[in-house]
Chains A and B, each alone.
Chain A
């Protein structure tokens, strides 16, 4: 056996998957079952006690989902992963392992609007207090650290404006504060950015977007980098203390550098319940096989569309980190040299009304609340994804009233540009 190391595209096709032992099926089978039989009482007890590797019940684990988990862990360079029902479910499960009521976490102000809502309202009712910081001002993260801070949360490429976050600088703050850095890598995908290489301790994804890639299945995933030391006494009791749920097992001591992923599974997913359907896991796995091809095309198309918009008289400004004039271009060159992603915003000289008119005239771009589809998508964030925010917060998160967001698909770029041209022109 040689220790030759295969590349990203090989892993995107193969990691985690092996021909089915029973049938020889080469595609990963959809194990559409709730439960798995035990060999005998001792086997059952070993599985329930976490002493043996194996399947019990699909809320805790499923063979189709396990292939997806290993594949994304491999692509991100993590030690293990846990797939869940949605990107939002991934965020709840991660923070449940880290925060006790009354604790705080610091989050970048530039985030997907749904995450801003989740952190501000839903998590507040759990007693998890979010403290906002500005990813364009690293010292705002330092100033936000208190003795109750348990984690820092950022997006690698931030929704909606496609701004690039300085992951390494923020990971230095996290390390100094002794807390893990969580990076939502949804808009970049590991093809463009691998946050663990830049100091992330935990990576989360909405698999619903580029990883699945075809706009057909919701899913989320948590990747454990295996880098964080959870043993500091009392700070992360889900990992460091004997767990009464499992007769006194200490997860960090038992599972070492993938203890966080195990905690998410056996304390988070098992008890909160947001399990991913094996059918969705299969759809997302199929999508991942072409991730490198799709992502490159998404980026190349996005750059062409951004360049077209930047030269159009009806357009006031374009915010795309792949343009040399963009404020985030330096960071894009450093973190995402293959392309700056395919989600970005632009603003129209005609303001809110021009945005509404544009959206209604487009023929190829679909007006809907998603990103990362093969199809090109358009939305007006101020009236949809970011509508729950007040006006000041809308502007701060890059979703002012004149802003339109695109998620550029993998169609022919000439057709996308022609569609925008007719909709802007008339």
Chain B
């Protein structure tokens, strides 16, 4: 996978197929990005599991924290890692010891570890880096358009009236004129410099 620019179909396929998501580094502090994403994905019907050894014994929006991936004790589809790039590798190594393996490893906005990604991909796990699943879900459903964000999708179909907690369709037509090629390029230059 080219991790500088993901085709919409790759992201769409992941978000349409996974059901359970373990979020490593989930924070109970309600201004942290991980809290935003956890809450949003739970409202969109994903089975969310907060992983953070510092908060075991507490709950995040009604879900009990677990200390590590191996403590979850049931198969999970996707691991969403809310840690800095330098802390990614140990989490991926732990994920690779799970049985069954997760189908997807997702690294949050700002996080990228190409070596860890290659390791996961070598055993057939799909990897996404430097993206936020909340933003991508909002974008592909066009819900994020409320904030003036370019969803890079079109649809001439009437959408259902959105209700709370509803899954939204992500199957809109992707467009190129609104391609974020410029921002992908900038991100790539930054990776190469660091």
Contacts and interface: CB of A to CB of B under 8 A. Distances in A.
Given A5-B174, A49-B31, A63 B146 contact: yes
B109 A6 contact: no
A397 B159 CA distance: 50
B8 interface: yes
Interface string B53-84: 00000000000000000000000000000000
A190 to B, nearest CB: 9
A420 interface: no
Interface string A221-255: 00001111100000000000010001111000111
A14 B143 CA distance: 16
B175 A15 contact: yes
Contact of A18 (B31, B142, B177, B183): B142
A179 interface: no
Interface in B1-38: 7-9, 12, 30-31, 33, 35-36
A138 B142 CA distance: 41
Interface in B31-53: 31, 33, 35-36, 39-40, 43
B147 A51 contact: no
Interface string A273-297: 0000000000000000000000000
B96 interface: no
Contacts of A98: none
A261 interface: yes
A83 B148 contact: yes
Residue among A1, A196, A261 with max Cβ neighbours from chain B (10 Å): A1
Nearest to B131: A256
B144 interface: yes
Contact of B186 (A7, A80, A229, A262): A229
A14 B144 contact: no
Given A52-B40, A53-B144, A262-B147, A5 B175 contact: yes
Interface residues of B, number: 55
A81 to B, nearest CB: 5
Contact of B7 (A3, A66, A229, A247): A3
A256 B135 contact: yes
A256 B132 contact: yes
The size class of the interface chain A forms with chain B is 35 or more
Contacts, number: 178
Contacts of B159: 18-19, 21
Given A53-B147, A69-B148, A21 B180 contact: no
Given A15-B177, A21-B159, A248 B31 contact: yes
B161 A77 contact: no
A66 B160 CA distance: 19
Interface in B143-165: 143-152, 154-162, 164
Interface string A43-83: 10010011111110000010101110110011101111111
A181 B80 CA distance: 34
A125 interface: no
Contacts of A255: 135
A226 B148 contact: no
Given A1-B8, A8-B177, A46-B39, A15 B138 contact: no
B181 interface: yes
A77 B182 contact: yes
A233 B94 CA distance: 33
20 contacts: A1-B8, A1-B12, A1-B174, A2-B173, A6-B175, A11-B175, A18-B159, A52-B40, A53-B138, A53-B143, A53-B146, A53-B147, A61-B146, A74-B175, A75-B178, A80-B150, A81-B150, A225-B182, A257-B183, A261-B148
Interface of B: 7-9, 12, 30-31, 33, 35-36, 39-40, 43, 109-110, 132, 135, 138, 142-152, 154-162, 164, 171-183, 185-187, 190
